[in-house]
Amino acid sequence: MTGSLDSWEQWLLKQAEPHLRRGRPDDWDHTLRALRYGRALLQEEKGDAEIVITTLALHDMGWSRVDYTDFVEAPPEKKKETRSLKEHMVQGALLAREILDTTPFPGDRKERVLQIIACHDEPEAVLALAEPEALLVMEADRLDRFGPESQARYRKMFGENYLREGRSFLLEGAKLWFRTPTAKRILQEMLGQAEKSGAGSAGN
Protein backbone atom coordinates (compact mmCIF):
# COMPACT_ATOMS: atom_id res chain seq x y z
CA MET A 1 0.00 0.00 0.00
CA THR A 2 1.21 3.48 -0.76
CA GLY A 3 -0.21 6.69 0.69
CA SER A 4 -2.47 7.03 3.71
CA LEU A 5 -4.84 4.43 5.07
CA ASP A 6 -7.74 6.74 4.24
CA SER A 7 -6.75 7.00 0.58
CA TRP A 8 -6.22 3.21 0.42
CA GLU A 9 -9.69 2.65 1.86
CA GLN A 10 -11.27 4.97 -0.68
CA TRP A 11 -9.46 3.23 -3.54
CA LEU A 12 -10.60 -0.18 -2.29
CA LEU A 13 -14.19 1.02 -1.99
CA LYS A 14 -14.10 2.31 -5.55
CA GLN A 15 -13.10 -1.17 -6.72
CA ALA A 16 -15.61 -2.92 -4.49
CA GLU A 17 -18.63 -0.70 -5.09
CA PRO A 18 -19.79 -2.21 -8.43
CA HIS A 19 -19.79 -5.69 -6.88
CA LEU A 20 -21.50 -4.54 -3.68
CA ARG A 21 -24.19 -2.72 -5.67
CA ARG A 22 -24.93 -5.99 -7.51
CA GLY A 23 -25.14 -8.03 -4.32
CA ARG A 24 -27.84 -8.13 -1.68
CA PRO A 25 -29.92 -5.03 -0.95
CA ASP A 26 -27.79 -2.40 0.77
CA ASP A 27 -24.54 -4.40 0.85
CA TRP A 28 -22.80 -1.16 -0.10
CA ASP A 29 -24.20 0.76 2.86
CA HIS A 30 -23.57 -2.19 5.16
CA THR A 31 -19.91 -2.19 4.13
CA LEU A 32 -19.56 1.52 4.89
CA ARG A 33 -21.09 1.00 8.33
CA ALA A 34 -18.88 -2.02 9.03
CA LEU A 35 -15.86 0.11 8.20
CA ARG A 36 -17.00 2.75 10.69
CA TYR A 37 -17.36 0.11 13.37
CA GLY A 38 -13.95 -1.26 12.44
CA ARG A 39 -12.33 2.13 12.88
CA ALA A 40 -14.06 2.57 16.25
CA LEU A 41 -12.72 -0.79 17.41
CA LEU A 42 -9.21 0.00 16.20
CA GLN A 43 -9.14 3.16 18.29
CA GLU A 44 -9.17 1.06 21.45
CA GLU A 45 -8.19 -2.48 20.48
CA LYS A 46 -4.88 -3.82 19.19
CA GLY A 47 -4.80 -4.93 15.58
CA ASP A 48 -3.26 -4.19 12.21
CA ALA A 49 -5.45 -1.39 10.88
CA GLU A 50 -4.43 -1.96 7.27
CA ILE A 51 -5.49 -5.62 7.41
CA VAL A 52 -8.77 -4.83 9.15
CA ILE A 53 -9.75 -1.97 6.82
CA THR A 54 -8.74 -3.86 3.68
CA THR A 55 -10.75 -6.91 4.70
CA LEU A 56 -13.85 -4.96 5.69
CA ALA A 57 -13.86 -2.98 2.45
CA LEU A 58 -13.85 -6.16 0.37
CA HIS A 59 -15.53 -8.78 2.57
CA ASP A 60 -19.04 -8.98 1.08
CA MET A 61 -18.37 -8.64 -2.65
CA GLY A 62 -19.03 -12.34 -3.19
CA TRP A 63 -22.79 -11.91 -2.85
CA SER A 64 -22.71 -10.42 -6.34
CA ARG A 65 -21.71 -13.82 -7.75
CA VAL A 66 -24.23 -16.10 -6.05
CA ASP A 67 -27.96 -16.79 -6.10
CA TYR A 68 -28.85 -16.05 -2.49
CA THR A 69 -32.49 -17.18 -2.64
CA ASP A 70 -31.79 -19.97 -0.16
CA PHE A 71 -30.31 -17.44 2.27
CA VAL A 72 -33.35 -15.17 2.04
CA GLU A 73 -35.81 -18.01 2.51
CA ALA A 74 -34.04 -19.77 5.39
CA PRO A 75 -35.15 -19.06 8.98
CA PRO A 76 -32.65 -17.18 11.18
CA GLU A 77 -31.09 -20.26 12.76
CA LYS A 78 -30.62 -21.98 9.37
CA LYS A 79 -29.06 -19.17 7.36
CA LYS A 80 -25.55 -20.18 8.44
CA GLU A 81 -26.11 -23.56 6.76
CA THR A 82 -27.12 -22.23 3.34
CA ARG A 83 -25.06 -22.86 0.24
CA SER A 84 -25.01 -19.21 -0.76
CA LEU A 85 -23.64 -18.05 2.60
CA LYS A 86 -20.65 -20.34 2.21
CA GLU A 87 -20.24 -19.60 -1.48
CA HIS A 88 -20.25 -15.82 -1.06
CA MET A 89 -17.15 -16.13 1.14
CA VAL A 90 -15.36 -18.24 -1.47
CA GLN A 91 -16.31 -15.89 -4.29
CA GLY A 92 -15.50 -12.85 -2.17
CA ALA A 93 -11.97 -14.09 -1.59
CA LEU A 94 -11.54 -14.68 -5.32
CA LEU A 95 -12.72 -11.17 -6.16
CA ALA A 96 -10.53 -9.67 -3.46
CA ARG A 97 -7.52 -11.49 -4.90
CA GLU A 98 -8.28 -10.08 -8.34
CA ILE A 99 -8.30 -6.57 -6.90
CA LEU A 100 -5.28 -6.90 -4.63
CA ASP A 101 -3.23 -8.61 -7.35
CA THR A 102 -3.28 -5.29 -9.23
CA THR A 103 -1.59 -3.52 -6.31
CA PRO A 104 1.79 -3.71 -4.54
CA PHE A 105 0.00 -5.03 -1.44
CA PRO A 106 2.48 -7.56 0.03
CA GLY A 107 1.70 -11.19 -0.71
CA ASP A 108 1.81 -12.44 2.87
CA ARG A 109 -0.58 -9.71 4.00
CA LYS A 110 -2.84 -10.33 1.02
CA GLU A 111 -3.15 -13.98 2.00
CA ARG A 112 -4.17 -12.97 5.52
CA VAL A 113 -6.92 -10.74 4.12
CA LEU A 114 -8.16 -13.48 1.81
CA GLN A 115 -8.13 -16.03 4.61
CA ILE A 116 -10.36 -13.84 6.76
CA ILE A 117 -12.77 -13.07 3.89
CA ALA A 118 -13.05 -16.79 3.15
CA CYS A 119 -14.42 -17.51 6.64
CA HIS A 120 -15.72 -14.18 7.97
CA ASP A 121 -19.30 -15.45 8.40
CA GLU A 122 -18.23 -18.60 10.24
CA PRO A 123 -17.53 -17.45 13.82
CA GLU A 124 -15.90 -20.69 14.91
CA ALA A 125 -13.47 -20.53 11.96
CA VAL A 126 -12.72 -16.87 12.63
CA LEU A 127 -11.96 -17.56 16.28
CA ALA A 128 -9.80 -20.55 15.32
CA LEU A 129 -7.52 -18.21 13.38
CA ALA A 130 -6.62 -16.65 16.75
CA GLU A 131 -5.74 -13.36 15.04
CA PRO A 132 -6.89 -10.01 16.47
CA GLU A 133 -7.56 -8.71 12.96
CA ALA A 134 -9.95 -11.58 12.15
CA LEU A 135 -11.83 -10.99 15.39
CA LEU A 136 -12.12 -7.24 14.80
CA VAL A 137 -13.44 -7.84 11.28
CA MET A 138 -16.10 -10.23 12.59
CA GLU A 139 -17.06 -7.86 15.39
CA ALA A 140 -17.33 -4.84 13.09
CA ASP A 141 -19.35 -6.81 10.54
CA ARG A 142 -21.76 -8.17 13.14
CA LEU A 143 -22.17 -4.98 15.12
CA ASP A 144 -24.03 -3.65 12.10
CA ARG A 145 -26.71 -6.28 12.67
CA PHE A 146 -27.78 -4.40 15.79
CA GLY A 147 -27.90 -0.85 14.45
CA PRO A 148 -31.10 0.97 13.54
CA GLU A 149 -30.25 0.86 9.83
CA SER A 150 -30.30 -2.94 9.91
CA GLN A 151 -34.02 -3.09 10.62
CA ALA A 152 -35.00 -1.48 7.33
CA ARG A 153 -32.48 -3.64 5.53
CA TYR A 154 -33.75 -6.92 6.99
CA ARG A 155 -37.35 -5.91 6.47
CA LYS A 156 -36.51 -5.38 2.81
CA MET A 157 -34.66 -8.69 2.44
CA PHE A 158 -36.62 -11.04 4.71
CA GLY A 159 -40.00 -9.49 5.47
CA GLU A 160 -41.63 -7.95 8.53
CA ASN A 161 -41.85 -11.16 10.58
CA TYR A 162 -38.11 -11.67 10.49
CA LEU A 163 -37.53 -8.75 12.86
CA ARG A 164 -39.42 -10.66 15.53
CA GLU A 165 -38.17 -14.14 14.66
CA GLY A 166 -34.52 -13.14 14.48
CA ARG A 167 -34.16 -11.19 17.72
CA SER A 168 -33.56 -14.10 20.11
CA PHE A 169 -31.18 -15.75 17.64
CA LEU A 170 -29.25 -12.51 17.27
CA LEU A 171 -28.92 -11.92 21.00
CA GLU A 172 -27.78 -15.49 21.56
CA GLY A 173 -25.20 -15.17 18.79
CA ALA A 174 -23.82 -12.02 20.37
CA LYS A 175 -22.44 -14.14 23.23
CA LEU A 176 -20.11 -15.87 20.76
CA TRP A 177 -19.36 -13.06 18.33
CA PHE A 178 -18.18 -10.24 20.57
CA ARG A 179 -15.00 -10.78 22.58
CA THR A 180 -13.27 -7.41 22.91
CA PRO A 181 -14.30 -4.96 25.64
CA THR A 182 -14.88 -2.25 23.04
CA ALA A 183 -17.24 -4.35 20.93
CA LYS A 184 -19.18 -5.42 24.01
CA ARG A 185 -19.51 -1.79 25.12
CA ILE A 186 -20.66 -0.62 21.69
CA LEU A 187 -23.20 -3.44 21.57
CA GLN A 188 -24.64 -2.56 24.97
CA GLU A 189 -24.90 1.09 23.95
CA MET A 190 -26.76 0.11 20.79
CA LEU A 191 -29.13 -2.21 22.66
CA GLY A 192 -29.79 0.52 25.21
CA GLN A 193 -30.61 3.03 22.50
CA ALA A 194 -32.93 0.56 20.79
CA GLU A 195 -34.71 -0.12 24.07
CA LYS A 196 -35.21 3.58 24.75
CA SER A 197 -36.66 4.11 21.28
CA GLY A 198 -38.93 1.09 21.67
CA ALA A 199 -37.41 -0.59 18.60
CA GLY A 200 -36.14 -4.15 18.61
CA SER A 201 -33.07 -5.28 16.71
CA ALA A 202 -32.86 -8.36 14.57
CA GLY A 203 -31.06 -9.61 11.54
CA ASN A 204 -28.46 -11.97 10.11
**What pLDDT score does 77 carry?**
86
Tell me how far apart the alpha carbons of residues 113 and 116 are, in angstroms, rounded to a whole number.
5
**What pLDDT score does 1 carry?**
57
**What pLDDT score does 201 carry?**
43
Whether the per-residue pLDDT at 202 is higher than 60: the answer is: no
Using the 8-state DSSP alphabet, how is residue 156 labeled?
A: H
Residue 28 located in a structural domain: yes
Which residues lie below 8 Å from residue 60, measured CB to CB, with a gap of 6+?
A: 20, 23, 24, 27, 30, 31, 88, 92
In total, how many domains does the chain have?
Answer: 1
pTM over the 0.85 mark: yes
Residue 138 located in a structural domain: yes
Residue 204 located in a structural domain: no
Residue 93 located in a structural domain: yes
Whether the per-residue pLDDT at 163 is higher than 90: the answer is: no
Residue 203 located in a structural domain: no
In whole numbers, what is the pLDDT of the chain averaged over residues?
91
Q: What is the DSSP string of 159-188?
A: -THHHHHHHHHHHHHHHHH--SHHHHHHHH
Residue 61 located in a structural domain: yes
Residue 165 located in a structural domain: yes
Asked if residues 114 and 96 have their Cβ atoms less than 8 Å apart, the reply is: yes
Asked if residues 170 and 204 have their Cβ atoms less than 8 Å apart, the reply is: yes
Residue 126 located in a structural domain: yes
Give the CATH number, domain containing residue 85: 1.10.3210.10
User: What is the residue range of 61's domain?
Assistant: 5-197
Say how many C-beta atoms besides its own lie within 10 A of residue 186's C-beta: 21
b (16+ CB within 10 A) / e for 1-18: beeeeeebbebbbebbbe
Whether the per-residue pLDDT at 105 is higher than 60: the answer is: yes
